């Protein structure tokens, strides 16, 4: 699922993100889109809920989490893996109004459905060669979270630091592949934390980079540092922005593509 449709026009696009990942050992849902459309696409692609081994929530925003109950309704029963704070009340606030951006369900709903919720506290191995990473170190000062993103806690507005965000890391012979949801903590902060943990080159990055609000200089610095980490392939989408697409089209060292709804990558 993505904001845009790929070549398969019978699939639905919506503002959101969801990846179906096959590792050779397991089938994984990474994020769930905003509503029923992500499940409808999965059904059209013959993805059976009974075969999903892991469900991963990158963070608690509606466009990544809101479709989860629809998958459950249609038979998804595996544990849900998230970072701590996934169910907190998240909003966008402009000083006059606040708009709820949270996932729309909570631990109580999970228990009523008989579903297990497991938390990734910084690092979690799902299986050999497949990991979840969170608790990202904020080492790149220019990767700032906009002030409008807040949480509601004890009747107080608190700036959202997106400490709930996690990514997925897959081992490969030539390096690791990192799958991200929205990269609110900063795509470089995420990749630097992954590389510090594993000490391996990062081969490829897929998902939302949240560079939609970045200027051209920051995008170029980001791409340069990604290349220094070993990244040779970027599949971007969702919150990455048109300017990233334009700059990437001028790149000669990085293979890249836009991942719309239904698009596939084979590694």
Look at 251 and 64; give whichever has higher pLDDT.
64
Cα separation, 17 vs 237, whole angstroms: 8
Determine if residue 33 is left, alpha or beta; phi over 0 gives left, psi from -120 to 50 gives alpha, anything else beta.
Answer: left
pLDDT tens for residues 145-166? 999 999 999 999 999 999 999 9
> Tokens for 5?
């449709």
pLDDT tens for residues 14-73? 999 999 999 999 999 999 999 999 999 999 999 999 999 999 999 999 999 999 999 999
How confident is residue 91, by pLDDT bands cut at 50, 70 and 90?
A: very high
Torsion of CA 76, 81, 82, 83, to 10 degrees: 170
For residue 103, how many other CB atoms are within 10 A of its CB? Answer: 25
Please give the pLDDT value at position 228.
Answer: 96
Closest by CA to 44, choosing from 10, 77, 4, is 10
| CATH for 19-258 (3.60.15.10, 3.90.1280.20, 3.40.30.10, 3.40.50.1220) | 3.60.15.10
Cα dist from 33 to 16, 41, 229, whole Å: 5, 11, 29
pLDDT tens for residues 188-237? 999 999 999 999 999 999 999 999 999 999 999 999 999 999 999 999 99
Cα separation, 248 vs 232, whole angstroms: 12
Could you tell me if 177 and 204 are in contact, meaning their C-beta atoms sit under 8 angstroms apart? Answer: yes
pTM: 0.97
pLDDT tens for residues 99-113? 999 999 999 999 999
């Amino acid at each position: 699922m993505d904001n845009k449709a790929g070549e398969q026009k019978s699939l639905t696009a919506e503002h959101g993100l969801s990846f179906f990942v096959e590792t050779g050992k397991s089938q994984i849902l990474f994020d769930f889109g905003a509503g029923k459309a992500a499940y409808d696409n999965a059904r059209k692609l013959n993805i059976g809920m009974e075969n999903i081994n892991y469900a991963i929530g990158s963070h608690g925003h509606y466009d990544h989490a809101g479709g989860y109950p629809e998958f459950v309704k249609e038979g998804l029963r595996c544990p849900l893996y998230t970072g701590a704070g996934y169910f907190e009340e998240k909003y966008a606030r402009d000083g006059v109004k606040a708009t709820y951006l949270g996932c729309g369900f909570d631990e109580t709903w999970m228990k009523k459905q008989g579903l297990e919720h497991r938390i990734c506290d910084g690092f979690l191995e799902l299986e050999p060669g497949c990991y979840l990473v969170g608790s990202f170190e904020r080492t790149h000062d220019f990767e700032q979270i906009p002030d409008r993103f807040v949480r509601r806690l004890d009747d107080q507005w608190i700036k959202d630091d997106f400490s709930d965000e996690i990514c997925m890391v897959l081992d490969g012979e030539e390096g690791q592949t990192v799958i991200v949801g929205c990269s609110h903590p900063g795509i470089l902060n995420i990749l630097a934390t992954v590389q510090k943990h594993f000490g391996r080159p990062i081969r490829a990055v897929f998902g939302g980079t949240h560079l939609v609000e970045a200027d051209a200089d920051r995008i170029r610095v980001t791409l340069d540092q990604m290349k220094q980490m070993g990244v040779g392939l970027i599949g971007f989408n969702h919150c990455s922005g048109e300017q990233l697409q334009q700059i990437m089209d001028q790149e000669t060292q990085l293979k890249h593509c836009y991942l719309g709804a239904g698009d596939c990558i084979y590694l």
